[in-house]
Amino acid sequence: MIGKRTAALACLLALSLSAFALDGREVMQRAYDVKKPAFSHSAVKMELVEASGATETRMVEEWGRDKGGLTSTVMSFQSPASVKGTRFLIVENEGRGNDKWIFLPALRSTRRVASSEGDKPFMGTDASYDDLSTREVDEDSHELLREEQVGAYACYVVKSTPKDPAQAQYSSRVSYVDKASWVPVKAEMYDKKGALLKVLTVERLEQVSGYWIPMADSLANVQTKHSTRISIVKLEIDKPIADGLFSTNFLNTGRLN
């Protein structure tokens, strides 16, 4: 009798564990829910690398805010002279797409970036405007493919396919999510024909003030052989930033009034 009860309990436990096993959606939800700083202020080095190896280095000042789970980011290009004074703002909204604005000093005006421009390159980098946007978990279907080691990271590998292909620039994305931090440390983006287009790689992930922060990463376009490297050279966490900085007025003037 005891043997039968033990076998029955073991079977029940196995079924229970199976029922609570991670699936692709849960992995991506946990990645989406990774704790973010309420405020961040950083100096960022951006390198645009041509297929020939020629490199253009830019310096960018960046501010970030997480307010009620909705993020806003401002970028202000400091150098070289060709991009100095360009400012960009992206604001996450609940239940609809992100708002984006860009100030171009040559035009002395700020314009809204239209949703139809989502697949256009951002400032000559390998990131599109949509790459900078927050994508809701339920905009995609998620399939847990396997577990895989990526450098020092033990990862869940998840394939995400847009539920509405017409509203997405990629046919699918494959994310490599670190089990320890729940941060994606690698991502592959596939074009509309299903061919690999871009690979994002986190080169340095650090825990700063209790937050997991990608301190250096690269985004490579495997079809053009062009890449963009980004590294944070200075970082300030959770020092309050005035709401007025996350506004089109700041984009226009570069000042808080």
How does pLDDT run across 200-254, given as a tens digit for each residue?
999 999 999 999 999 999 999 999 999 999 999 999 999 999 999 999 999 999 9
Q: Radius of gyration of the chain from Cα atoms? A: 21
| Region at 123 (left for phi over 0; alpha for psi -120 to 50; beta for the rest) | left
> How many alpha carbons lie under 13 Å from residue 63 in its C-beta half-sphere?
19
User: What is the 3-state composition of the chain as percent helix, strand, coil, each rounded to the nearest 5?
Assistant: 20, 45, 35
Beta strands in 128-243 (DSSP E): 140-150, 153-162, 172-178, 184-190, 196-208, 211-221, 226-237
Q: Is the predicted pLDDT of residue 11 greater than 70, yes or no?
A: no
Q: Shortest CA distance to 238 belongs to which of 43, 60, 65?
A: 65
- What pLDDT score was predicted for residue 240? 96
The arithmetic mean of pLDDT across residues 9-16, rounded, is 48
CA distances (Å), 182 to each of 58, 100, 254, in order? Answer: 30, 27, 35
* DSSP states along 57-111: EEEEEEEEEEETTEEEEEEEEEESTTTTT-EEEEE--SSSPPEEEEEETTTTEEE
pLDDT at 14 over 60: no
Res 4 pLDDT > 70: no
Distance, in Å, from the CA atom of 110 to the CA atom of 114, rounded to the nearest integer, reads: 13
Residues 53-93: pLDDT tens digits? 999 999 999 999 999 889 999 999 999 999 999 999 999 99
Q: What is the pTM of this model?
A: 0.89
As given in the structure block, the two tokens for residue 10 are 């073991």
Name residue 175's beta-bridge partners: 158, 187
pLDDT at 168 over 50: yes
Contacts of 98 (CB under 8 A, 6+ apart): 90, 91, 92, 132, 133, 134
Domains contained in the chain, CATH given: 23-253 (2.50.20.10)
pLDDT (0 to 100) of residue 18? 41
Q: How many helices (H) and strands (E) does the chain have?
A: 3, 13
Q: What confidence tier does 13 reach under pLDDT thresholds 50, 70, 90?
A: very low
